[in-house]
């Protein structure tokens, strides 16, 4: 088989996708994103630890311990409002390096009865990150799951997920004339990868807002299904859940699929399998999903407001009172990064839901 030099020089995943498209025709964005992130051998999350200075991106728990401490306070408050059950499931979805749960566990040491009641479950598909989580969390004897089907149905549950939903693949649709077509990834030797629109097996006309020709609408069946299962777990077992992610409050138009490679945005077709790939979370559609199941769902608010409502300014002040000049600078920088509108404070949104208790969800 003859291959152009350009193809030969690129990643093996690139070649696998080219072959699939040439054999089977254009693939939808869902399959493209799923392969880029989760191809068993070459997918981004299957191969590497993406975080930190040498990685591709950083997340709130990796920026500062304050984030995990406040989420820990949220979890403890919810557990107390549940009547301090003597046994409960704590599930983190997509725990990355395990930093968030480690901070939650550290801060809840001060809550009498919490540690003897908690059973930690982690939803994770990446072997590399599972190994990291093992290093961070093995003292707490977590149980790992690759799918939600194996999470036990026994007693109350508290779920947290930070930057998890954005990693779940989306489908894209484009208004062409009066109708919607699905945006697909095609390939040819001269142009390389490119988007094309073709007719789709999924009719999204009842989901999409009013649009003009050329507009793109994103919808994620995978994310919807995952979120719905999490709602069902809480409904069947009682409890509460917290989701933090970047995204929009109202279902809208626009293309948000993005790739990050070594802390820089890059074309989604460059570095396939070596760059992180995400899409904004449509929080409005999550709210609708929870409401359809008669679950109490919070307002969706900005991360900056949520963290301030939970007392991040006091926490920062307390940390500063024991810090040297260098540490004070770090704390201040992290604080601004987490809450300022021009940083993570506004783009990141927070959603909570609960079932089975007369809760006041903290932070909202």
Residue of 10, 64, 125, 256 interacting with ligand SAH (CB under 6 A): 125
User: Minimum Å distance from CB 59 to ligand SAH?
Assistant: 3
Closest to ligand SAH by CB, 26 or 345 = 345
Residues 252-277, buried b or exposed e (16+ Cβ, 10 A)?
Answer: bbebbbbbbbeeeebebbebbbbbbb
What is the closest distance, in whole angstroms, from the C-beta atom of residue 166 to ligand SAH in the complex?
8
By CB under 6 A, name the one of 96, 240, 273, 345 that touches ligand SAH: 96
CB of 182 closer than 8 Å to CB of 200: yes
Q: What dihedral do alpha carbons 142, 143, 147, 152 form, nearest 10°? A: -110
Considering the complex, state which of residue 48 and residue 266 has its C-beta at the smaller distance from ligand SAH.
48
The DSSP annotation for 221-272 comes to HHHHHHHHHHHHHHHHH-EEEEEEEEEESS--BS---EEEETTEEE-TTSST
Instruction: Enumerate residues 6+ apart whose C-beta is below 8 A from 178.
Output: none
Residues 6+ apart with CB under 8 A from 6: 192
Q: Does 35 bind ligand SAH (CB under 6 A)?
A: no
Smallest distance from the beta carbon of 61 to ligand SAH, in angstroms? Answer: 5
What's the min distance (Å) between Cβ of 127 and ligand SAH? Answer: 9
Interface pick for ligand SAH out of 126, 172, 197, 220 (rule CB under 6 A): 126
Choices 149-157, 164-172, 280-288, 348-356 (CB under 6 A): range interacting with ligand SAH: 164-172
Among residues 10, 28, 136, 162, the one that binds ligand SAH under rule CB under 6 A: 162
Of 24-32, 159-167, 318-326, 332-340, the window that binds ligand SAH (rule: CB under 6 A) is 159-167
Spell out the long-range contacts of 176-179 with Cβ–Cβ below 8 A and sequence spacing 24 or more.
176/213, 176/214, 177/213, 179/205
Closest to ligand SAH by CB, 124 vs 215, is 124
231: CB partners within 8 A, 6+ apart: 241, 289, 290, 293, 295, 353
CA–CA gap between residue 92 and residue 160 (Å, rounded): 5
Site for ligand SAH in 76-95 (CB under 6 A): 94-95
Residue 180 tokens read as 């919607």
**3-state SS record for 271-313:** CCCCCEEECCEEHHHHHHHHHHCCCEECCCEEHHHHHHHCCHH
Q: Which of residues 128-147 bind ligand SAH (CB under 6 A)?
A: 129
CB of 278 to ligand SAH, least distance (A): 9
Asked if residue 163 binds ligand SAH (CB under 6 A), the reply is: yes
Residue 18 or 29: the one with the smaller Cβ distance to ligand SAH is 29
Phi, psi dihedrals of residue 60, rounded to the nearest 5°:
-55, -50
User: Hey, which residues between 208 and 237 contact ligand SAH (CB under 6 A)?
Assistant: none
CB of 354 to ligand SAH, least distance (A): 21
Phi then psi for residue 59, to 5 deg, are -125, 165
Question: Minimal CB distance to ligand SAH: which residue?
Answer: 94
Quick one: which segment of 21-29, 157-165, 195-203, 302-310 binds ligand SAH (CB under 6 A)?
157-165
Q: Tell me the C-alpha distance between 199 and 308, whole Å.
A: 46
Task: Give the residue, chosen from 70, 73, 75, 167, that forms a contact with ligand SAH under the rule CB under 6 A.
Answer: 167
Strands (E), 5-44: 27-28
Specify the residue, 32 or 195, whose C-beta has the smaller distance to ligand SAH. 32
Q: Select the span of 24-32, 158-166, 205-213, 295-303 touching ligand SAH (CB under 6 A).
A: 158-166
* Residues binding ligand SAH (CB under 6 A): 45, 59, 61-62, 94-96, 100, 123-126, 129, 162-164, 167-168
């Amino acid at each position: 088989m003859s291959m152009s030099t350009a193809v030969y020089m690129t990643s093996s995943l690139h070649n696998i996708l080219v072959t699939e498209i040439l054999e089977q025709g254009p693939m939808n964005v869902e399959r493209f994103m799923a392969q880029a992130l989760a191809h068993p051998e070459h997918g981004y999350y299957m191969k590497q630890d993406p975080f930190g200075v040498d990685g591709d991106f950083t997340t709130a728990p990796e920026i500062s311990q304050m984030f995990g401490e406040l989420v820990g306070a949220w979890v403890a408050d919810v557990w107390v409002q549940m009547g301090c059950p003597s046994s409960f499931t704590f599930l983190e979805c997509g725990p990355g390096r395990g930093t968030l749960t480690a901070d939650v566990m550290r801060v809840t040491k001060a809550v009498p009865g919490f540690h003897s009641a908690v059973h930690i479950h982690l939803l994770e598909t990446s072997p590399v990150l599972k190994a990291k989580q093992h290093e961070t969390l093995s003292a707490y004897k977590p149980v790992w799951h690759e799918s939600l089907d194996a999470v036990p149905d026994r007693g109350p549950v508290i779920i947290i997920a930070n930057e998890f939903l954005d990693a779940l693949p989306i489908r894209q649709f484009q208004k062409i004339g009066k109708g919607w077509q699905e945006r697909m990834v095609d390939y040819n030797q001269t142009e390389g990868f490119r988007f094309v629109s073709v007719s789709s097996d999924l009719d999204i006309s009842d989901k999409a807002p009013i649009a003009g020709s050329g507009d793109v609408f994103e919808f994620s069946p995978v994310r919807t299904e995952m979120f719905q299962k999490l709602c069902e777990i809480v409904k069947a077992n009682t409890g509460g859940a917290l989701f933090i992610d970047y995204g929009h409050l109202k279902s809208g138009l626009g293309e948000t699929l993005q790739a990050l490679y070594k802390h820089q945005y890059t074309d989604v077709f460059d570095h396939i399998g070596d760059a992180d790939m995400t899409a904004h979370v449509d929080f409005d559609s999550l709210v609708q999903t929870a409401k359809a199941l008669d679950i109490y769902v919070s307002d969706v608010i900005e991360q900056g407001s949520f963290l301030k409502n939970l007392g991040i300014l006091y926490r920062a002040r307390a940390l500063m009172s024991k810090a040297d000049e260098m540490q004070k600078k770090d704390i201040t920088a992290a604080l601004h990064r987490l809450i300022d509108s021009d940083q993570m404070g506004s783009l990141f949104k927070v959603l909570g839901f609960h079932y089975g208790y007369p809760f006041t969800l903290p932070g909202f």
